[in-house]
Amino acid sequence: MAEIAHPDTVTLTQRLIRRQSITPQDEGCQDLIYSYLKPGRFRTEPFYQDGTVNLLTLHGQGGPFVLFLGHTDVVPTGERSAWSHDPFGAEIVEEDGRQMLYGRGSADMKGADAAMTIALRDFVHAHPEHKGTCALLLTSNEEGDGKGGVSYVAGKLKEQHLIPDYCLVGEPSCRDKLGDTIKVGRRGSLTAHITVKGRQGHVAYPERLINPIHQAAALIAQLQQPLDQGNEVFPPTSFEMTNIKAGTGAENVVPQTCSFMCNWRFNSLQSEESIQAFVEQAVEKLGLECEIRFVLNGLPFVAAEGDFCPRLARIIKEICGIEPELSTSGGTSDGRFIAPLGTQTLEFGPRSLSIHQIDEKTDVKELELLTEVYIKLLENLLL
């Protein structure tokens, strides 16, 4: 890797981590970020909707239009006593010869927010008369239900005919080393809220009751059956349980209902309708009485063809010394709202190994290298 220093990226990341912006709260993160860009005469447009704070800040005019996309909200810390370092302390710790920055959001994704901000600031300072437009879009509701977030702003961009040519999402895309992965698309996400109805009764009289927990277990086993093997673009559709609730609190009572929540990350071989049909068939096969509510969180997408991916890959190899793999694995991101505009949409950010975990952390040197990748990308596209 190249020896590159961008200490302001690290400082800004620390300042952002210390703001407890648990979704959908922003806690002044976007104002802090804009304070770094304001001296460069970036113009700004805030969007407030459904309790969500969004900030679009731009420099330049016309095309090509390069958009960086991020979020300032973070997931809750979980049991704070389980952390070895204060989740909002932004402490830098020496580990095996590397400096690691601890804190909720260090990897997902305040580190990338800072890297994008400093890259834009430094690029505009060096090239105030650059061609086209560069911009940063931030939301405070990516980790939550997304209401009033990037989906809303994307509609406004379309209304204003302000369509990016290129969008780079700073989500943590890499696995083992910065530079090893570019996300060129994402699977869709469908959640099901299922309540299985039984008949409450005393455990000593099984003939008088219908145990919804047993029935739910049978249904979950059916839902775990593979839907496909994936294709040349996407990995297989996956299924995971996320929540389950049942019981009266008594050890000798079978409850009336068992409720659970589950999620499919689905590829282009599936659809919302095909998965719903699969669930309904499983319920019918088992003869269950259920209430089911589906929530579509996003459809699968692949980056539009063009010059964006090869340009980014060349820059990553130059700065990070590694040939990136092109992948559609993992979760979803707000890129799903920008890609349908016809924008070439890619994701490249820090390593994802510790995201949403206790002791989330990121490598300080990799944050500085990430900033350099973003600067070089702006130079490649706008000079």
**Rounded to an integer, what distance in angstroms lies between the CA atom of residue 184 and that of residue 189?**
16
Q: For residues 328-336, give the mean pLDDT.
A: 87
- Catalytic-labelled residue, pool 73, 113, 165, 347: 73
Encode pLDDT of 17-76 as tens digits. Answer: 999 999 999 999 999 999 999 999 999 999 999 999 999 999 999 999 999 999 999 999
pLDDT digits (tens, 9 = 90+) for 199-246: 999 999 999 999 999 999 999 999 999 999 999 889 999 999 999 999
- Rounded Cα distance between 100 and 304, Å, is 35
E strand or H helix at 98, and its extent?
A: strand 98-102
Compute the 3-state secondary structure of the chain and give helix, strand, coil in percent, each to the nearest 5. 30, 30, 40
Beta strand 238-246 with 257-266 is antiparallel
Question: Which pLDDT belongs to residue 5?
Answer: 84
Q: Which residues are annotated as a binding site for Zn(2+)?
A: 71, 108, 143, 171, 356
CA distances (Å), origin 339, targets 272, 300, 346: 19, 10, 9
Count of CA atoms in the C-beta half-sphere (13 A) of 270: 30
**Is residue 45 annotated as a catalytic residue, yes or no?**
no
Q: In the predicted model, is pLDDT for residue 1 greater than 60? A: no
Task: Give the active site residue among 26, 27, 122, 142.
Answer: 142
Distance from C-alpha of 159 to C-alpha of 137, rounded to nearest angstrom? 16
Please report the pLDDT score of residue 298 as a whole number.
Answer: 86
Indicate the pairing of strand 257-266 with strand 188-197.
antiparallel
Cβ-count burial of 99 within 10 angstroms (0-12 exposed, 13-18 middle, 19+ buried)? Answer: middle
How is 244-279 classified by DSSP, letter by letter? EEE--S-TTEE-SEEEEEEEEEE-TT--HHHHHHHH
Return the higher-pLDDT residue of 381 and 299. 381
- Of the chain, the percentage scoring pLDDT greater than 90 comes to 94
CB atoms within 10 A of CB 330: 19
Query: Rounded distance, CA 132 to CA 72, Å?
Result: 26
Q: How far apart are CA 64 and CA 380, in angstroms?
A: 11
d(CA 236, CA 271): 13
Distances (CA, A) of 354 to 8, 127, 133, 366: 23, 36, 34, 14
Does residue 284 have an active-site annotation?
no
Per residue in 149-197, pLDDT (tens digit) is 999 999 999 999 999 999 999 999 999 999 999 999 999 999 999 999 9
Q: Residue 2: which pLDDT band, with cuts at 50, 70 and 90?
A: low
Q: Output the pLDDT for position 130.
A: 98
Do 380 and 132 form a contact (C-beta atoms < 8 A)? no
Per-residue confidence (pLDDT) for residue 251, from 0 to 100 = 96
What pLDDT is attached to residue 245?
Answer: 98
Q: Is the peptide bond before 24 cis (omega within 30 degrees of 0)?
A: yes
- The pTM (predicted TM-score) of the whole model is 0.88
Decide if pLDDT at 3 tops 80.
no
98-118 pLDDT tens trace? 999 999 999 999 999 999 999
Segment 118-159, tens digit of pLDDT: 999 999 999 999 999 999 999 999 999 889 999 999 999 999
Phi and psi at residue 112, in whole multiples of 5°?
-70, -35
What pLDDT shows up at residue 145? Answer: 87
Please report the DSSP string for 40-59 in residue order: GT-EEEEEEETTEEEEEEEE
Which residue ranges are tagged as binding site? 71, 108, 143, 171, 356
Pairing of strands 133-139, 253-254: unpaired
Query: Could you tell me the two tokens for 134?
Result: 């560069």
Alpha helix (H) ranges present in 38-168?
110-126, 150-159
